[in-house]
Amino acid sequence: MTANELILPAFEFSQGRVPMLVSMPHSGLALTPEVQAGLTDQAAKLPDTDWYIPELYDFLPTLGVGMIKANYSRYVIDLNRPYDDKPLYNTKTTGLFPDILFEDSPIFKTGQMPSDAHKTFCKEHIWRPYHEAIASELARMKAEFGYAILFDAHSIAAQVPMLFEGTLPNFNWGTNNGDACHGALTQAVSDVIAPEYSQVTNGRFKGGYITRYFGQPNQGIHGIQLELSQATYLDDDLAKQSIYQLDKDKLPNIKQQLQKVIEACLRTSL
């Protein structure tokens, strides 16, 4: 493969005016030809996508917050896993190049897994540029403001038996057990969650590679991940049919709540 075979750039980036960057590594929908050709019928629906994350955070420009969002699906390469694919959890999960869906069925048809050459290409032309862009922007913000906040924005179905038992809380904060950011930031986001939403910190999700790697509070870089339950904004009945649509009644409330979260981050003294 060559770089010319990417149908889109690896990511889209917009620089902000404040010391905060929101990363969206799992909202991408684009596929490389090799991956697309090998997907099972169920995987072709891209069920494990962090659906509509850019739409949920479309208020970021009004707050001056920068954003980086992946263009490619996590089935091409998972940007929230380490380059060497070292496991992040002891429990069952998916890796840098996922081969199973969250429902524990194969992503690829028999004999149609992406080649090693394709994987190497994706690491160099999708994974590496995304992470280099984050590193560069965090360094710029720290130089200008004295510190930087990296907010890693995710979502997931409320029930995923392969990954966890029962039903997830609505807001799942991950700070690598407190090592990725100052406690004041965790407290600030927790304090603004409305009573109708449930939340937990460092529960099943403690922050993925992006939060763990870049979150270095002793160096002035604070990383926090939000794994948002898709029950807070998707049409539940359609989601059960692998049809992913925003619920117009839920949407205004969750967007208002997310804006309060981002504003709380910006108010926090770090």
- Quick: pLDDT tens for 145-180: 999 999 999 999 999 988 888 999 999 999 999 999
Q: Can you list the domains of the chain with their CATH numbers? A: 3-267 (3.40.630.40)
Whether the CB-CB separation of 206 and 174 falls below 8 Å is answered with yes
Mean pLDDT, all residues of the chain: 94
Say what the pLDDT of residue 3 is.
46
Say what the pLDDT of residue 1 is.
45
Say what the pLDDT of residue 132 is.
98
Say what the pLDDT of residue 135 is.
98
Of 219, 90, 207, the residue nearest 148 (C-alpha): 219
Q: Which helix (H) or strand (E) holds 26?
A: none
Say what the pLDDT of residue 88 is.
67
Kindly tell me if the per-residue pLDDT of 110 is higher than 50.
yes
Kindly tell me if the per-residue pLDDT of 2 is higher than 70.
no
Say what the pLDDT of residue 113 is.
94
In whole angstroms, give the CA distance from residue 225 to residue 207: 5
Pairing of strands 148-156, 221-229: parallel
The residue behind tokens 């149908």 is: 7
Please tell me the least confidently modeled range out of 87-91, 157-161, 266-270.
87-91
Q: What is the mean pLDDT of residues 12-34?
A: 97
Q: What is the mean pLDDT of residues 92-107?
A: 88
User: Identity (one letter) of the amino acid at 111?
Assistant: G
pTM for this predicted structure: 0.95
Say what the pLDDT of residue 114 is.
95
Kindly tell me if the per-residue pLDDT of 57 is higher than 80.
yes
Whether the CB-CB separation of 152 and 67 falls below 8 Å is answered with no
Say what the pLDDT of residue 92 is.
57
Considering the chain, what percentage of its residues have pLDDT values greater than 90?
90
Tokens of 152: 């890693």
Q: Express each pLDDT in 221-264 by its tens digit.
A: 999 999 999 999 999 999 999 999 999 999 999 999 999 999 99
Q: What is the mean pLDDT of residues 80-91?
A: 77
240-263 burial code (b ≥16 CB/10 A, e <16): eeeebebbeeebeebbebbbebbe
**Residues, the chain, total?**
270
